Structure formats: C-alpha cells, structure tokens
Amino acid sequence: MKFLKILKNGLWDENPTFRIVIGMCPTLAVTNAAVNGLVMGLATAFVLLASEIIISLVKKLIPENVRIPSYILIIATFVTLVDYILKAFLPGVASALSLFIPLIVVNCIILGRAEAFASKNSVLDSIADALGMGLGFTWALLLLSIIRELLGSGSIFGVQILGGWYPQMAIMLLPAGAFISLGILLALMNYISSKGVK
Amino acid sequence: MEQFTHILLLFASTILVNNFILVRFLGICPFLGVSNQIGTAFSMGMATTFVMTLTGMASWLINTYILEVFNLQFLQTVIFIIVIAALVQFVEMFIKKTSPALYRALGIFLPLITTNCAILGLALLIPSEGYNFIESVIFAFAAGVGFTLAIVLMAGLRENLEFADVPGVLKGVPITLIIAGIMAMAFMGFSGLISM
C-alpha cells in the first residue's frame, strides 16, 4: 500500500517536472522528437533507480560530511554506464541527446531524491520513490515531446500523422518553441490541479 | 591578425549565436531560480563566469595531459564533476580569505554553481569541440558572459513583470518560460550574424 502511495507521489503529487519544476535543462533541450524524450526519460529513470538502490543500501557506511560527493560519484558511475550503453545500442538517439546524457549527473532530480529520500528510507521504499519520480519525469518529457513533434513536423515517433496540408511549425522544434510550449503546459497543469482541489 | 579575428568571432558567437541558456539549454535552473532581481542575477552571473573560466582551463589541461595520454576518456564525466566540485570549494575558500565583501555578496550562489549544468556542460563541450588552450579559455569566458547577459536581461524583465496583471495559472514559472521563449526568438535573430 505504502509502495503505491510513494509511486503516485512521484507520478503526480510531486511530479518533478510539473509540480516541483526541477531538471529543466533536459526537459527543454531533448524534447524536439518523441523518441528523444522517451529515451532521455528512461535513461534518467534508470540512473535514479540504480543510484537510489545503492545509496539506500550504503547510507549507514557513508560519513555525514562526505555524503554529497559520495552520492555524486555513485550517480556519475551509472551515468557513464548509460552513456556507453546508449552509444552502443542506439547510436542515432545517443548523438541526438549528445551532451545531455552525461549531464544527467547534475540533474537536480537525482541528487535531490538521493539526499531527500534514499538517504533516509529503506531499499523497498527507495525503489518505489525512484520508479515514481523516474516515470513521472518520463511521462512529462514524453508528453512535451509528442506535442512539439506533432506541431513542429506533423509526426509522432517519426510516423507522419498530419498530411501534406499541415504547415509545419518549425519554431516548435527550435529553442523558442521549447520554452513557450513548456510554459503553456505548466500553466495547464496548474489549472488542472487547481480544479482538482475544489 | 587572422588568429585575432578568429578569437573575436568565437567570443561573439558564443555570447550571441550559441548562447548557453537560450540556445544550448544549459543552466536553466539558476536562470529560472535566481532571476528575480537584477542585483542578485548579476552576482550569480559574475560568480558563474569566474568558475566557468577556471573550469575551461582545467577541462582542457586535464583532458589533454591526463585523459588523452592515458586513454581514460570514459572517465570524463566522473573526473570533471569531481574537479568542478573541488574547484568551486577552492574558489569559495579563496574568496572568503581575500575578499570578505565579495564573499558576502556571492553568498549561497557559490556552492550552487557545482550543480549548474552549464559548468559541466562546458567542461564536456571543450574536448568534443577540439579547441586549443587559448580558444578554450575564450570559449569558457564568453559562455559565462552569455550566461550573465541572459540572466540579467531576464531579471530586468521580471522586475517589470511585478507590476503586470498576470493570470493566476501563469504566475511564477510558466510566464517566465514564455518570456524566455520570446527572448530565445529575439536571439535567433543573431544566428545569421556570424557563420563559423
């Protein structure tokens, strides 16, 4: 029961993208195509899951003073792993994401959850938290990237949805479109949750 | 002379055409978080520029003399993040000792710079772009200036936004993102300026 509650916390109540608004760099940068958004989300979720498991296992062994550097080292190790796996198996997507895979190290979501959750809770709870937060981040990225790809090039996952009549809005694929569409999406999420409270 | 022109073009294009925040999406967290007032935004920009320039040098030196020599490029991410964390710590200690006034002005911003993705992004970009030492330093400094420019411009806009009647759901981050989008569009105008 508690497992599901923690899971839902990450997926909606404290969704890292829509509610807490952290980890904005990858959210804006890689969401120009649905496949990039999905892979980025899953890569981050994997690093989060692996780091939270390890950190919650070794939390008693790490001295208080050096905990942040230790967490960063653990996170950086998994990020390097993901970086090389993606380069080997999905070279196309890896080159599209380029810099933003190694930059998962400084994604505030991961260090934030390591410090706020994994360092204080059991392994099972940490797994629930990592899955909730990781998948919460993934669906946010996927939603934004589907919107941008559909409006920008008329396709989803590279499959043409809108026909030749559709005037492709290239601006949605450019930085300006990223900022504006995320801004509108966040406003929409605020609207939905303010309705829910009443 | 040609060398000088090249450096100048690199400097201008890093600030305007490939602005770290508005074009490369690096350093969005401080851009959204610390852009309430022009004063604090400027301090943050200065601190970041300083650390970025040092990181640029460190990144080039480590990559050229250690990682490439011993074929350790796969450790890039791990090494750079440790170096940046150590560097920020040193800078903090140094400023605290030499200029307490500046230290108070920068305050909380210094430790926060460690997790600014613009810094690690810069460290990782330098080896992949194949710059020499001088180019790396210029690139790093210009990246910091571009960061400062964007964050100070945003702070100026947000100070005026205080007097605007923004709809409830757009308050805070959403309206900031939309303004950033319009700024990014304006910066797109620079893209034809320099072709490298």
What confidence tens digit (pLDDT) does each residue in A31-49 have?
A: 999 999 999 999 999 999 9
Position B32 scores a pLDDT of: 86
pLDDT value at A167 more than 90: no
Establish whether this prediction's ipTM goes over 0.95. Answer: no
Q: Is A62 helix (H, G, I), strand (E, B) or coil?
A: coil
Q: At what angle do helices B76-98 and B38-62 cross, to 10 degrees?
A: 130
Over range B21-48, report the average pLDDT.
87
Answer for the pair A55, A126: CB distance below 8 angstroms, yes or no. yes
Average pLDDT, chain B: 88
Beta bridge partners of B172: none
pLDDT value at A126 more than 90: yes
Six-digit token string for A83: 């970086």
Single-letter amino acid code for the residue at A69: P
Position B94 scores a pLDDT of: 84
d(CA A49, CA A41): 12
Position A197 scores a pLDDT of: 58
d(CA B33, CA B40): 11
Q: The pTM is what?
A: 0.90
Residues in chain A, how many? 198
Position B189 scores a pLDDT of: 86
Quickly tell me which residue has 């829910």 as its tokens. A196
pLDDT value at B107 more than 80: no
Answer for the pair A82, A104: CB distance below 8 angstroms, yes or no. yes
pLDDT value at A112 more than 70: yes
* Identity of the residue in B25, B114, B176 whose CB atom sits nearest the CB atom of A29: B25
Residues of B with CB under 8 A from a CB of A: 22-29, 32, 74-78, 81-82, 85, 114-117, 119-121, 124-125, 128, 168-170, 173-178, 180-182, 184-185, 188
Q: Is A126 helix (H, G, I), strand (E, B) or coil?
A: helix
Rg, Å, chain A Cα set? 18
Give the A:B interface size as CB pairs under 8 Å.
115
Six-digit token string for A78: 């998994």
Over range A138-147, report the average pLDDT.
95
Which alpha helices (H) appear in B26-132, and where do they start and end?
28-33, 38-62, 76-98, 100-106, 109-113, 117-129
pLDDT value at B3 more than 70: yes
CB contact under 8 A, A80 and B75: yes
- Distance from the Cα of A2 to chain B's closest Cα (Å) equals 31
d(CA A163, CA A167): 9
pLDDT value at B49 more than 80: yes
Mutate to test the interface with A, among B18, B20, B26, B28 (most CBs of A within 10 A): B28
d(CA A27, CA A136): 12
Residue A178's nearest CA partner among A62, A36, A81 is A36
pLDDT value at B156 more than 60: yes
Q: Which residues, including other chains, have CB under 8 Å from residue B2's CB and lie 6 or more apart?
A: none
